[in-house]
Amino acid sequence: MWYVDGVGLVKTPRGLTLNGVQHPRNIFTQWTKAELAAIGIKPASITAVDTRYKNTGELTWNTSGAEAVGTYATTDVAVADLKADMTATVQSHAAGILAQTDWYAIREAEGGTAIPADWKTYRAAVRTTSNAKETEIAALADVDAVKAYEAHPVTYTRKTYDEASETWKAPNVTTDTTVNKVTWTELGSHSDSWPTAPDHPADPSFVSVANTCLIYTSPSPRD
């Protein structure tokens, strides 16, 4: 992309008339940056905006440097709207999970074989988790709290694959990542995870997952 004085953003090469001079489209690919800058054309970029959390307004350009940089005016998305979206996702996620085994409940209700105990326990856990997440989401006070809920830091511990024996074994390796608590499902019975189904495939590398321990270092008295 390029920014052209008096024209604005040009996303793909095209012919232009600047200061009464016609220029063919190939100047964008054949001229040097210095030659283009001399007639008011600079490489352009637009600062990315996370539209999950921000509404975008007017786009303004800073052309003082070697590259023109566009920046959108932004406002926070209303926290109520974010929470409503999260709650709807939780409800949809729970409904989708339960729909897969509704036939168990229908069969039992119509006088057939009872729901297997492990699946009955699992379905109840899905409902409990759904209710708990809706309560947690309702309590989120601001956009920062929403962001923290949707990017929660956890640490995975996994075994190492040994090619010689073709098995997973020590030494264990830890990896830090973030998870979206709205829909996150994992082994290990983490309190923020949706429950795993009785037929959930085993992960031979999995050891554990826990909340990441964030170490706070107090500032030096000289800072």
Domain end point (choices 61, 76, 91)? 76
In a domain, 156, yes or no: yes
Domain end point (choices 48, 76, 104)? 76
Report how many domains make up the chain.
Answer: 3
- Rounded CA-CA distance 72/57 in Å is 6
Contacts of 194 (CB under 8 A, 6+ apart): 93, 97, 126, 129, 183, 184, 185
- Rounded CA-CA distance 78/55 in Å is 9
Residue 199: what pLDDT? 94
Residues of the chain falling short of pLDDT 70: 214-223
Residue 88: what pLDDT? 98
Whether residue 65 contacts residue 44, with contact meaning beta carbons closer than 8 Å, is answered with no
Residues 12 and 66 in one domain: yes
Residues 90 and 102 in one domain: yes
Residue 213: what pLDDT? 79
41, HSE (Cβ side, Cα atoms, 13 Å) = 24
Peptide bond into 171 cis (omega under 30): yes
